[in-house]
Amino acid sequence: MVENVGTLFQWLIFLGVAFVSILASLLVITRKNPIHSAVFLVLTFLCVAVLYLLLYSQFIAIIQIIVYAGAIVTLILFVIMLLDLEEELRSGLKLLYSKVLGSALAVLFLFAIIYSVAAMPLTGKLGPYPPGKLSQNVKTIGEVLFTRYLFPFEIVSVLLVAAIVGAVVLSKRKK
């Protein structure tokens, strides 16, 4: 009975968060003011972070809030305020044949995804990390990241340095 209550809460949280995240992402692509889009983007990211918690990934949920909802959206908001986008506000959403066609193809793609995930059950070999082990998340991720994935980790650090240098060089005002 106690497990039933827990599962019921999982369902309630999943359904509520899924509804809010779909609504927020629809608002992101329909608002005319880019600031509103960025703020609804934060809401989408927070909902996805709650879904990560449901999937026993606390580390990724925290990183999601810090990096995405914190750093990237702040950067986007700064750039929106730096640029004077008044004329973009008025142009808004214009319907053209190419856009309708593109959206129809995207919806078709969604149906393909739904069919492909619903037609077959999840197959594949189970790994050595059951939920009990996954829930000690940071320790396990650290162990895997610094042993098996050490080389990609170093490559990512080089990539981040290159991105910092590139951003500084690009945004420097030329004399």
Task: Give the number of residues in contact with other proteins, rule: CB under 8 A.
Answer: 87
Residue 113, by phi and psi: left (phi above 0), alpha (psi -120 to 50) or beta?
alpha
Q: Is 113 in the site for other proteins (CB under 8 A)?
A: yes
Distances (CA, A) of 39 to 15, 22, 69, 172: 22, 14, 9, 28
Q: Is 20 in the site for other proteins (CB under 8 A)?
A: no
Handedness of CA 47, 51, 52, 53 (dihedral sign): positive
Q: Is 29 in the site for other proteins (CB under 8 A)?
A: yes
Indicate which single residue of 16, 65, 67, 150 sits in contact with other proteins (rule: CB under 8 A): 67
Distances (CA, A) of 10 to 7, 16, 24, 137: 5, 10, 21, 19
**Of the two residues 93 and 175, which places its CB atom closer to other proteins in the complex?**
93
**Footprint of other proteins on residues 121-160 (CB under 8 A)?**
122, 124-131, 134, 137, 140-141, 144-145, 149, 152, 156, 159-160
**Of the two residues 72 and 175, which places its CB atom closer to other proteins in the complex?**
72
Indicate which single residue of 55, 139, 150, 154 sits in contact with other proteins (rule: CB under 8 A): 55
Q: Where are the beta strands (DSSP E) in the chain?
A: none
State which H helix or E strand residue 25 sits in.
helix 2-30
**Footprint of other proteins on residues 78-97 (CB under 8 A)?**
79-80, 82-83, 85, 87-88, 91, 93-94
Q: Is 162 in the site for other proteins (CB under 8 A)?
A: yes
Q: Is 39 in the site for other proteins (CB under 8 A)?
A: no
Q: Are 3 and 57 in contact (CB under 8 A)?
A: no
